[in-house]
Structure 1
Amino acid sequence: MARYRYRAYRADGRVVADVVAAGSESDAVRELMTQGLTPFEISDAAASGSAAGGRGGKLPARVLSGFCRNLASMLAGGLPLDEALKLLAEDPEDRSGARLAANLRSGVLSGQSLAEAMASLKAPPPDYVIGLVRAGEEGGSTVPVLNRLSVSIENEMRLTEAIRGALIYPVILLITSLISVGVILLVVAPALEPVLAASSTGAPASAEVLMVASRWLRGSWPVLLIAPLVICLLAMSWSRTGSGRRWLSGFALKLPVIGPLVRDMESARCLASLSALLENGVSLVPAMEIAGQGARNPLVKDALDRVAGEVRVGVRLSDAIAADGFLPAVAAQLAAVGERSADMAGQLGQAATLLETRSQRRISTLTTIAAPVMTLMLGVLIGGIVLTLLSAIMSVNDLAV
């Protein structure tokens, strides 16, 4: 089922902005009218989300986390929502958070709830964030939900920063090695080429290969400089399309080591969102649809949609996850425990924690192994080039003697 963003009038004249799941746009209109709403604007959620991102850019996780934490503190202190948003909008030290608070306050003052105001932003947060806030408002637990969101987003930021930090050394090592090889091929090898050409016996075969590589690099360096930039730009444009995202997502999941890591990380994210939604009173099938919207990998979202479809017709969640086979087995196992103990939210949260811990352990192992392996491979490459040059120089000296 597709998801449609809409703006509609309530019976009391207030404007509502939200998302509805339906088979088509006409079905979405009929669904809204059965809820007593009069829609005046409706559009595909994926298309409108892309347009919103293009107009307002992506909402940084740091800004969203800080906003949730600060707003929760003010609401816990007894401030009304509009006054709390006003204070946050006047914060001179966090301009991004102040703009976010000001935009949300405008929506709240026009009669929208906090979740509705978030959905109306030019660059709205992920759907699972909006769903959690809405569930918190309806259940009277907005402060705990905002605190949970802040912690969840900060945990995700720490994991992302850990990955980036672990990649810094290998990237620096790779760049340094490429520069070293470039200097050898562009400066050292051309200086030796006339000497080797003057030799009556000729240069060693390995030196000839090196000189051919040097001549090819000197003649093709404009293409080698421009072509990667063009390829990167084309790849980035293609990756933003639906087919490009899906192909890249499938390719990443098929990689021997990276695939299981990506699956665990995305599954942990969605299960944590699902757990929080269930804990705040959202029923299982709608919670799965909302949690699936927060998945970066479209194949993970498809898996959650398939499982939600099975649950909708009466299949138990644990059986649906196990039969689908896409999500990690620990999700099905702990879902079964949750069904027996009537604590589905807690068990799914535990599954998310286990998957996140496993992902961090795998990342640590990969980064620990990657650095020495890259050092060894690049050392062998540069060492081989240097030895080739030395052998050519020694052959010329032997000839002179």
Structure 2
Amino acid sequence: MTHAAQADTHTVPADGTQESNRVPISKGMIGVGFLLVVLSYMVNAMDRQVFPPLLPDIRQDYGFSLEQGGLLATNFTLGMALAGLPAGYLLDRFRRKTVLLVSIVVYSLGTMATPLAVGFADMTVYRVISGFGEGMQSAAIFAALGAFFTHRRGLAFGVIGVGYSTGVFIAPLIGVRLMNLHGTWHAPFYLFGTAGLLIAAASLFLVKAGLTEHAVEKAVSTRTYEYMPASAYNRNTIALAVHSVVSGVAIYGFLGLYPTYLITSLHYTAGQAALAMSLLGFGGMTAALGGWLGDRVNQRTLLIGSLLAVSAIAGCIYETHAGVAVQCAFAFFMGAFGLGFIYPNTNSAMQRAVRPEQIGRASGLFVTSYYGTAAFSGLLFATLVESFGWSRAGLLQVTFLPLVGVVALVFVRPSLFNNADR
């Protein structure tokens, strides 16, 4: 399928953003604003992914079980899921920039509060609060930039994904280094939380409304969307949501306990596990390529191929017990397909499955479906490990589960997307 870029149009928040759309914004300010948004999403990823490589030390300090550690490693996604649909509703009605700035402050404060926890219960609360802010930010970013970069939505989401993957890449390295330098795992949480607050302050002045509040453009006179379902919750979005649920459980279960698997099962050092985790983030930097391809080929086919690749790579990770170099290569390819291809294309496909004025709700649905059950993916994985061991647990959750997503994607009809050739 060729990409009909001209067929995408922008969304209209109801708070007068059409007026803001008339305010000219220079290319320089577009670049500065876009860079700050990408940097904020990078810090979002750093806040999320600094926890897993530090989990063995956190468990030792608090005496958490593997199940408790697995739940803490991924339960921030519960906050993201809770934020998704409300954020989608708000984004269709209020200023996206306001939602974006508030969300950065919320997740930064939640991150900084994590080391203050006295036990499992309040650490869970802090992680969920952080995830709530991250979910709001995700919905705000993808709704705002999905509207502004309508002709290259997949590529724009891919570049944002590069920012996220950069955070995944550097967070384990910085986190473990700071822990070793200061003798405590607390330091990275304070550093990353402070970085988020500084970016929010800079964004207040440098991210202009002309970038975030883009309004609906007039489509060509012959262009209508009567061929699309009237509801934002239609066959395509439901099938994509099922795929999102499956992908979230498989990928986040893997991310949450991958360093623990390397350290406890393969006896890697904390530094070696951090290196493998960083290579996973490095692989995710292929998101720009994944998004670019999503603008040009059949996204359903691209997503099916990516899920099959994740399934095959997971089989290699949990069955071959490879050495450090080969394991890092597996991690790179897992990041490439799981973060670089599946994430941006699922997100953009969800927006293309609805009429242009509904992309805020589509963005919220993606966040909720992708991150909702992912909140318990670490607990599920840890429970499977306790019952069956690492190899069989990996096969069940990260190898076989993506195949369910493949079945769901069979029901997607790209001919009903809002960028389909008509």
Q: TM-score range by the shorter chain?
A: under 0.3
Q: Which has the higher contact order (CA 8 A, sep 6+)?
A: 2
Tell me the TM-score normalised to structure 2 length.
0.27
Whose Rg is larger?
Answer: 1
| Structure in which a larger fraction of residues adopt strand | 1
